[in-house]
Structure 1
């Protein structure tokens, strides 16, 4: 008789009551402690945590959570639901298709981290623990109990299939066949976790709508955090909460649903993004929104070069600068030496064409290089562009870019009589200048996404992937490597120039200092590359999400001063350690970094 040892951590899995985690108490007791602690934490958010409103968020109100208490409420509710699902409560098993124990640990960490950060912040800012009300002490104890209960849950990983080197090929094949049959039987046994059933099409579309609405809510909350302490708590809750949903299998399940309805998901994502300005009462956060879209669009263009073609470009921000300078010089700026004012569509074509030409001129002599040599050359191009723009000031060179002063006083766009620099009333909502540019940039992002999808699925896209995986093998199969890489370079450069035309009008001024290799605030080449890698190379959603995070987080961490980049670097290290394939990885990269996930099930003999 055999039993199944799987990666599942549901309570029904074999030996769940005999294995222990970091805390030497029975897992069943730990699960109960974590669930009860999460419920008590939710209750404690309705109590006052401090006696004075000097701490931001006003945590002195009974019966109404506010500020950081809302984040703790969300973390405690998630912990409670996952704990109940781990007990097999009917109606909640869908929350944990991949098992509950690992997800419960992350949810408990989210709750504990936010609570204790708040307690410590209150003590430091107000002058000691004496400033805590009974609710503050209660939530500290209950969140600690929740974490201890979660740490008592067992850790189990799938083991690799042992291969006997003395077995012949026939014996090994027969062993694997018997192994597979036993695995199939075990999958239908009572001990195996239930398989996730495929939902009807209308239900899957409803799931996509819910996911997009949740994403808009989280993004709007994060970008609109009113004070620094709330944003730190948001990062803790959102980071560990995402880990909990990922470990539970909900993220993977939602990804499968969206992959089956890609067109609906993409259209729904743009509709959701278009709703963002209507959630804002002024242009304060719409400003961040339009800059995030510019950064994300450029990152998506870089994803063609790096993610699809596998070409490491360290000077990509220069193409953004070429497009911005070209558009600013023909858009009616008084500091432009050309003294022309092209309409928007013509300025867009000029910016994209200028970047395309520079992409071909730089790529033609350099793309015969590979790897680190190509990276060094592109890094040099980025620096050459910035230095050249500084020198074209009429003194060191021709008067074209006005040197370090840049091209200033760039007028607002006027498209078909619609002034993007003025406020407009739409359906009772007042749409300001940055909201207007947000909608324009959203249209340009849609164009870039369309180009990325069509090119990635085309013959040239498959050639890019072949070059990325093994250039020597691709050349042996008849692919013209130089031509394919030059097309990738040119397309990526033109998309960056397209975004640069809008950036020039949004910022009013284009200066060389905006296009550095690295700096505290994006966009720059280092942040663009990080957005592609951290978001997920070769995907559409990855660079968009990665760019959003990499632009938002540094802006919100400015209160740290000199420690801003240190904290940001630590966050990047943790993300690459625990999510090396990116936030939205494709299947190939996910298997490269998590081969243990594909390890076959191990069957171990047990007593009768």
Structure 2
């Protein structure tokens, strides 16, 4: 592995060592910049307890003094975070643990997050109510305070890379690219962090308590995001969580939390499922529990696709068809009146039928096609997805045999009844009323636990290591004696069966299965394009990455429906930006992170990763 990137202007020479410099706003001395940032953050927190507008016509009622509401809560959280990072930057005792990787870069992003959310709110008030005249003193104070905080944060010193000398034989275009590259490196350096300091040794009970706190925060953020009732609040939530998470990540806290969860992996997984099981109890009705169960279905299918794409490296563009095979198979044998078979099997039998049907189709499709590679395999799987949709659309008794009822689908699928527990009825548990979708939420949580167990055990097994070898270099893996075809067929069949397993529950949740539910692409997931995006954006080859990616990719399109025809445009721009700045995914393993950021890593880090 190459440990030192070569200088294109001076081949064979290592880049010059970085040197210290001023901030992006160079006229501010470091002490004044820190003082200005801290002052702006404190004023931001104080402004959240003032009235921002005079009328409750703006969603969230920002007219109350002493009681933050709506977008004020988000700005309050970011202002408090900026204040804590500023205190840590000063070296205040008891706050240094907040920034194990350094405070300045995290402070810049936190100040930027406060500024972006506050000015978005001020702008929304001005647009919807007819101008800035509708701002109360609190709105003006928060606008000025966040601007001061951002100016101060940008004035903090950062490590500036020395500019490399130009080769006199370079063309003008080469010099232009060189200058642009140095400018981009300078900008990135303003948000760069140093190596994270290791946490002091702690008792296991303290580490478990920290993991519990992290899971509680994650549950709170997810519940808040799902429960946003109006568009402005959700857009502010996206700004707050995106930039806020970036600030916390730059501080090193995410890295430390990841190390703790890795140390107690089994406990962390169990805690995550417990936290997810608490979600229905935070809801007063089934409105948002509905989103929860669909997110679990989407995430379960994405995790199954992660075996095919993330571990084995097989680009499958028709994976949603296996979800459809499982759903149709379960619908046909679950007692639906529109089913031509007239069967009503118990749920465990319907699950086996759906998973087995998807497994068979996975083997039938994979056996003749998995000898292909790359784009050719992708084209074949894309064709299979379209063939499935057209086939179930034509088996209506007119164009073909009467099996799937054509475009009308299989309707009136009855609710599940397992050991006398009716999933379609409300139940009272510990004083909480659990509705229909909450019942299916718990069922999908159990199925996801099975999928997670299969993913972990298969990924850590001998066959899992063979998948990774095939993904990294199939030719080298074949030369080492790995049966590439057999290994890929196992991955394809296993991924298909897991998708079919989720499809059996989807059929009962939606009451109806139709061909239009299983497209390659569309505005609302699940579809093959969104499933693949969930795996890539979340982090290929990881267990938690596709789950986080699927949750975001299902939630965001549902919340952005007010944008109408511009929804996919805004969503596509967001994906492009995410892939530009974090191509390895939101939660990536260390190997893939080094592959994408090899030039940004130090020689010691690369050598350690290579070892």
What is the TM-score when the length of structure 1 is the normalising length? 0.90
Assess if the C-alpha contact under 8 Å between 1:17 and 1:27 holds in 2: no
Residues 360-398 of structure 1: CA deviation (Å, up to 9, x unaligned) = 000000000000100010000000000111100111000
Give the 3 Å change call, closer, same or farther, for CA 580–198 of structure 1 in structure 2. farther
Assess if the C-alpha contact under 8 Å between 1:21 and 1:27 holds in 2: no
Assess if the C-alpha contact under 8 Å between 1:44 and 1:139 holds in 2: yes
Assess if the C-alpha contact under 8 Å between 1:16 and 1:154 holds in 2: no
Which residue does the alignment assign to 1:177?
none
Question: Is residue 285 of structure 2 the alignment partner of residue 282 of structure 1?
Answer: yes
Which residue does the alignment assign to 2:343?
340
The CA deviation at 1:429 is: 0.4
Counterpart Cα distance in 1 of 2:426 and 2:539: 37
The CA deviation at 1:159 is: 8.4
Counterpart Cα distance in 1 of 2:436 and 2:45: 41
The CA deviation at 1:200 is: 2.2
| Matched residue SS, 1:156 | strand
Equivalent residue for 1:141, pick from 144, 154, 157? 144
Counterpart Cα distance in 2 of 1:65 and 1:364: 60
Question: Is residue 390 of structure 2 the alignment partner of residue 391 of structure 1?
Answer: no
Which residue does the alignment assign to 1:231?
234
Where do 1:38-437 residues align within 5 Å?
38-156=41-159, 195-437=198-440
| Matched residue SS, 1:341 | coil
Give the 3 Å change call, closer, same or farther, for CA 393–194 of structure 1 in structure 2. closer
Which residue does the alignment assign to 2:173?
none
The CA deviation at 1:193 is: 8.4
Question: Is residue 535 of structure 2 the alignment partner of residue 536 of structure 1?
Answer: no
The CA deviation at 1:97 is: 0.6
Which residue does the alignment assign to 1:448?
451
The CA deviation at 1:160 is: 13
Which residue does the alignment assign to 2:4?
none
Assess if the C-alpha contact under 8 Å between 1:208 and 1:258 holds in 2: yes
The CA deviation at 1:600 is: 3.9
Residues 229-248 of structure 1: CA deviation (Å, up to 9, x unaligned) = 10011110100000001111
Assess if the C-alpha contact under 8 Å between 1:161 and 1:601 holds in 2: no
Counterpart Cα distance in 2 of 1:338 and 1:23: 76
The CA deviation at 1:27 is: 2.7
Residues 445-468 of structure 1: CA deviation (Å, up to 9, x unaligned) = 000000000000111000000000
Residues 133-167 of structure 1: CA deviation (Å, up to 9, x unaligned) = 111111100011111111112332688999xxxxx
Residues 377-423 of structure 1: CA deviation (Å, up to 9, x unaligned) = 00000000001111001110001010000000000000011000000
Counterpart Cα distance in 2 of 1:206 and 1:594: 33
Question: Is residue 501 of structure 2 the alignment partner of residue 520 of structure 1?
Answer: no
Assess if the C-alpha contact under 8 Å between 2:305 and 2:532 holds in 1: yes
Assess if the C-alpha contact under 8 Å between 2:219 and 2:276 holds in 1: yes
The CA deviation at 1:117 is: 0.6
Counterpart Cα distance in 1 of 2:340 and 2:569: 42
Counterpart Cα distance in 2 of 1:345 and 1:60: 55
Give the 3 Å change call, closer, same or farther, for CA 411–203 of structure 1 in structure 2. same
Which residue does the alignment assign to 1:562?
565
Residues 460-499 of structure 1: CA deviation (Å, up to 9, x unaligned) = 0000000001100100110000000000000000000000
The CA deviation at 1:74 is: 0.3
**Structure 1 residue runs without a partner (length 5+):** 1-13, 163-190, 603-608
Assess if the C-alpha contact under 8 Å between 1:158 and 1:601 holds in 2: no
Which residue does the alignment assign to 1:4?
none
The CA deviation at 1:533 is: 0.5
The CA deviation at 1:22 is: 3.9
The CA deviation at 1:112 is: 0.6
Which structure ranks higher in relative contact order (CA pairs < 8 Å, sequence separation ≥ 6)? Answer: 1
Which residue does the alignment assign to 1:176?
none
Residues 82-133 of structure 1: CA deviation (Å, up to 9, x unaligned) = 0110111111101111111111111111111111111111111111111111
Residues 513-559 of structure 1: CA deviation (Å, up to 9, x unaligned) = 00000000000000000000110111110000000000000000011
Residues 202-230 of structure 1: CA deviation (Å, up to 9, x unaligned) = 11111110000000000000000111110
Counterpart Cα distance in 2 of 1:509 and 1:417: 23
Assess if the C-alpha contact under 8 Å between 1:290 and 1:441 holds in 2: yes
Residues 286-332 of structure 1: CA deviation (Å, up to 9, x unaligned) = 00000000000000000000000000000000000000000000000
Counterpart Cα distance in 2 of 1:444 and 1:343: 16
Q: Matched residue pairs, number?
A: 561
Give the 3 Å change call, closer, same or farther, for CA 129–332 of structure 1 in structure 2. same
Assess if the C-alpha contact under 8 Å between 1:158 and 1:600 holds in 2: no
| Matched residue SS, 2:159 | coil
| Matched residue SS, 1:407 | coil
Give the 3 Å change call, closer, same or farther, for CA 18–313 of structure 1 in structure 2. closer
Which residue does the alignment assign to 1:174?
none
Give the 3 Å change call, closer, same or farther, for CA 296–319 of structure 1 in structure 2. same
Counterpart Cα distance in 2 of 1:397 and 1:531: 35
What is the Cα-based RMSD across aligned positions, in Å? Answer: 2.0
Assess if the C-alpha contact under 8 Å between 1:17 and 1:28 holds in 2: no
Give the 3 Å change call, closer, same or farther, for CA 564–298 of structure 1 in structure 2. same
Assess if the C-alpha contact under 8 Å between 2:22 and 2:155 holds in 1: no
| Matched residue SS, 1:580 | coil
Counterpart Cα distance in 1 of 2:580 and 2:259: 24
**Structure 2 residue runs without a partner (length 5+):** 1-16, 166-193, 606-611
Residues 14-50 of structure 1: CA deviation (Å, up to 9, x unaligned) = 9998522245322332122111101100000000000
What is the TM-score when the length of structure 2 is the normalising length? 0.89
Assess if the C-alpha contact under 8 Å between 1:158 and 1:597 holds in 2: no
